[in-house]
Chain A
Amino acid sequence: MMMDSKEKILAVREEEIQKLNASDCRILVCSGTGCIATGSHKIYEKFMELVQDTPGIEIEFAPHDSHDEKEEKVSVKKTGCQGVCELGPLVRIQKKDKVIQYTKVQIEDCQEILERSVLEDEVVERLLYKKKGKAYLGPDDIPFIAKQTRIALKNCGKFDAESMGEYLASGGFGAIIKALYEMTPEEVVDAVDKSGIRGRGGGGFPAGRKWKQVARQPEKIRYVVCNGDEGDPGAFMDGSVMEGDPFRLIEGMMLAAYAVSAQNGYIYVRAEYPMSVARLKHAIACMEEAGLLGDHILGTDFSFQLHINRGAGAFVCGEGSALTASIEGNRGMPRVKPPRTVEKGLWEKPTVLNNVETFANIPEIILNGPDWYRGIGTESSPGTKTFSLTGAIENTGLIEVPMGTTLREIIFDIGGGVKEGGTFKAVQIGGPSGGCLTEKHLDVPLDFDSVKKYGAIVGSGGLVVMDEHTCMVEVARFFMSFTQRESCGKCVPCREGTKRMLEILEKIVAGEGEIEDIDRLKELGEMVKSMALCGLGKSAPLPVLSTLREFMDEYVEHIQDKKCRAKVCQSLRRFMINPEFCKGCGKCAKNCPVGAITGVRKEFYHIDTSICIKCNACKDNCAFDAIYIEA
């Protein structure tokens, strides 16, 4: 249905709200990449089937938008990621008066859920989230979720990610309606500026200032570009927004376009996110059909077209100028600035380029005003930030917390502490462009400026928790191998420097390091950091430099004692047989591919470590646990 005036869209919204309220029970099946991987598609289909076949249920569910069907009583919906993919497939039963959150739902459970929780008011106890013997009923009871403040992820998990109607009913498009009918473009820019929101893509540049600069350009053709490249390996918040709440992202981009008078927008989506592309395409098609994208939106003079570009597998394309080069059909090589993107961005026209999460915050800022936004977070970094919590932690997942929340709160209160009661060693923040923070930084408030002081960055929000089983040198090597592989090769410091740094790190973990290597690493690292052309190179040495600073002893151990205390580095491990446990069965010797094990049957066996290739075969085959690894 065409919504070409304020009245029309408000009327449709009323209808949608009623439709939402009319349903007695909503079965919300998480359909983020994570839950789909654990099989939530099948759960969704099962529920659909069951709901249709079960007598006593009055259904008229609408998987996609349809405004003319009759009201439903029970509906089955696909939502975006709820942030706890580990517990998937997730199913939420939403009734007027209560919400039940089920985890790890299997096909076999669907019938029971339907009968007991949908038709009756019972709870399937065994599917609830449990921790330390305690079961949690609703999602908001789960500490992991309860302790968060969700703005960008507001709708993720609550509404149908593919339904424009539900987005409308949830208050969606309120901001663009407000902007178009009640605000001038300048006022929109002003509100964003006053809110103090800083870019969530890593740089932390104030979005309002960027928009102002674009609005000021003499050139009238302008673009709005959304950076959905999300390259940080181990971070998936932008993907969750794109697949879980595509309309919010688009509304944010529309607000930007209105604010700076841009006519066209592009969303650049990372290659590995096919679902994000599908959901965004669907959203754009719905909106075009409803006249919410295209010419004369909602009957005003505002016109805006939106396009999608898929990445093709290059991390560096997350960098602004590389991204626009890629949209233009070029190699994604960053270029020198000036000119800056705000002056000459896409096709050399003034361009607003922001991150997914940045855009996703804008509608709420416009709706609730900059003061409301400033009330969240810290003075210099207002608002919330999403983080992707992974590594050696009890609860991995996607979280959104106010800026300024401390690491301690995130890791221990929300994340439930270090996995399996391990000891906290460090946390890598900001992905391959970031650094590590340790025990002594646990109470540092996480905001753009504070973290920087300690040689790390908030970055896009990757948080990898590391315990005593993590080798810091190997972690540094891992990140360096990533950036080295992803270097575009344009500038010498990054192309040649990261390569040499990686070679040195590989040497050290292989037990062939020399003590001079530490100085070489530092020298190269400082040089690359200062001299590289773009952010990739400038930040590539950070993981090395920060581990060198915090864990120098581990480097020295690797080099001088040929020892890896975390027992991670293959080459530094030695396979040994404990004569006390060895029964002399000879099974190990039989399994050793290189004949490193010799011995006398029924007595004991011995491993010649100079021959051993550390394949683990002996250890796997010893029935008496007599083989151990010495670090």
Chain B
Amino acid sequence: MLDQSYYQMTDEIIGRYGKAPASLIPILQDIQEEYRYLPGELLTYVAGEIGVKEAKAYSVATFYENFSFEQKGKYVIKVCDGTACHVRKSAPVLEALLKELGLSKKKHTTDDMLFTVETVSCLGACGLAPTLMVNEEVHPTMTPEKAIELIQELRGESR
């Protein structure tokens, strides 16, 4: 059961876009931004409020990569594996991160809910490949070593 505050926040978000089927995606985006994930209950709630069938809302939410029904870590690290980054060796960066954090291609978030590691294809900073993004901040010209340093830095920051 979600706390009542979640529904209040959701009502406020719905208010930003209006009760129409076309508001579905922006509403879900704002919820996802607010909680760093999309609680299933809220999806059902939003669907009911804006007049969209639940199955439809679920089908939309699962189509787009950015929606997640699972809670994400405090730092969402998106390692770019776009063409420019791939040819400049982004794979070892990803591997180093996964190894450092004990994650895998199936397990994306650390148990302490600090880090989530995902891949993304292009952050628009291809000239500085390979890149990665921590929440909304882009980090240029990564190497496995720099990535691990970054993790340590972030760990310190969150202490």
Binding site for B on A (CB under 8 A): 33-34, 36-38, 83-86, 88, 230-236, 239-240, 270-274, 276, 309-315, 326-333, 388, 390-392, 396-398, 428, 431-432, 462, 464, 466, 470, 478-479, 482, 488
Contacts and interface: CB of A to CB of B under 8 A. Distances in A.
A328 B125 contact: no
Nearest to A388: B126
Contacts of A488: 63
Given A33-B138, A232-B122, 15 more contacts: A33-B123, A34-B124, A85-B140, A230-B122, A233-B80, A233-B86, A233-B121, A234-B84, A272-B124, A272-B133, A313-B65, A328-B22, A329-B24, A396-B129, A466-B87
B126 A390 contact: yes
21 contacts: A37-B138, A85-B125, A230-B124, A232-B83, A233-B83, A234-B84, A309-B25, A310-B29, A312-B25, A312-B29, A314-B64, A315-B121, A328-B21, A329-B20, A330-B56, A333-B63, A391-B83, A391-B88, A396-B84, A396-B127, A466-B87
Interface of B: 20-26, 28-29, 52, 56, 59-60, 63-67, 78, 80-88, 120-129, 131, 133, 136-140
Contacts, number: 145
Contact of A234 (B28, B122, B140): B122
A83 B124 CA distance: 11
Given A37-B140, A38-B140, A312-B29, A332 B64 contact: yes
A332 B25 CA distance: 11
B24 A37 contact: no
Contacts of B20: 329
B83 A313 contact: no
Contact of A482 (B29, B60, B64, B121): B121
B65 to A, nearest CB: 3
A293 B29 CA distance: 26
B122 A314 contact: no
A207 B121 CA distance: 28
A309 B121 contact: no
Nearest to B137: A37
A236 B25 contact: no
Given A314-B65, A329-B52, A234 B126 contact: yes
B122 A233 contact: yes
B82 A234 contact: yes
A36 B131 CA distance: 12
A307 B25 CA distance: 14
A307 to B, nearest CB: 10
A390 B87 contact: yes
